[in-house]
Amino acid sequence: MPRPFLQKLIAILALLASLAGCTTTPPESVLAVPAQPQKYAAIVVDASSGKTLFEVNSRSQRYPASLTKMMTLYMLFEALESGRVTKETRIPVSDHAASQPPTKLRFRRGETIDVDSAIRAMVVKSANDVAVAVGEYLGGGSEDQFAAMMTTKARSLGMTGTSFRNACGLPDDGQVTTARDMAVLGMALERRFPQHFHYFSESDFMFRGRLVRGHNDMLGRVRGVDGIKTGYIRASGYNIVTSYNADGRHLIVVVMGADTARQRNDHVEALIQRSLGPTTADATQPRLMYSGQQPASPLPQLPPPDSALPGLPPPGSPASDLPSADLASPSAPLLPTQ
């Protein structure tokens, strides 16, 4: 065998032996988080088993913004089931409801909206005037009474960290929830009202002869995503509850506190992809890199669950839904399966 070839062969074998002796520890997994740590909260739940696949700050209180309308809709669906209303029932719009800031459909006092259109207006447009009108109707003329009913319903569903003060999600320092509670509510809507869940997959609807477009850009972006609701106020950041149902996998993903709607949606997609992986339950939880951090900088400590919420914007600030590590074990189910 020629000497140069033999020397090359020996060198290659030596290199292979050296590599074989190196550590096989995989590189650290890093998950980019498009939010500040004091606003961020997230959870991914396997809706079939109730097991938590991923969570950060999921029991820390956050502002729900227009995710509030998920509970308003839950109460309206209950009224439909009980026969208290039908889809043709006309709901009157009061001065108080008509005066809500955008996003809204811009009703005048004394006008009415049918229940079917009201559902679509809350899901697709996230209309604050419609949500308040529905709350007043179901609350016997009082939105405050309806908010108390919403909170009672939340407790009955196991949403222990949630309190409602209004029907639409506009800023109120007493209106708080958690990512875990929003996952509970998302699962409850799907399980309790499967005949109505199709509303959450709609991205537009016709009203008074014009097309009303929605805010949930996850619909049609990721195959298998079939709802459900977005939310935004300045104090909360961009929130979303997303249902994924395809290829025998059913997930509920909640992300709260993102800096922008686009970054929130990117993050939801990343969490879905991560959760569909074959080794999710056994994988080491990723290192979190929050918004604005440099790659080499250390991660800040996560705020404790009872830490103060970021301040609400002053009155008159833009309202909800603009167009457009505390990591838990996966072994404990979020909700019992049924």
> Which residues are marked as active site?
66, 69, 126
Neighbours of 239 (CB within 10 A): 31
Neighbours of 245 (CB within 10 A): 17
Which tokens sit at 69? 């309308």
The rounded distance, in Å, linking the Cα atoms of 70 and 335 is 18
The H-assigned helical ranges of the chain are 3-20, 68-82, 95-98, 115-120, 128-138, 143-157, 179-192, 261-275
Angle between the 68-82 and 128-138 helix axes, to the nearest 10 degrees?
40
Contact (Cβ atoms closer than 8 angstroms) between residue 211 and residue 203: no
Q: Which positions ≥6 away from 227 have C-beta within 8 Å?
A: 197, 200, 201, 216, 219, 242, 243
Task: Choose among 258, 325, 277: nearest CA to 33.
Answer: 258
Beta strand 30-32 with 287-289 is parallel
CA atoms within 13 A on the CB side of 218: 31
78 by DSSP, 3-state: which? Answer: helix
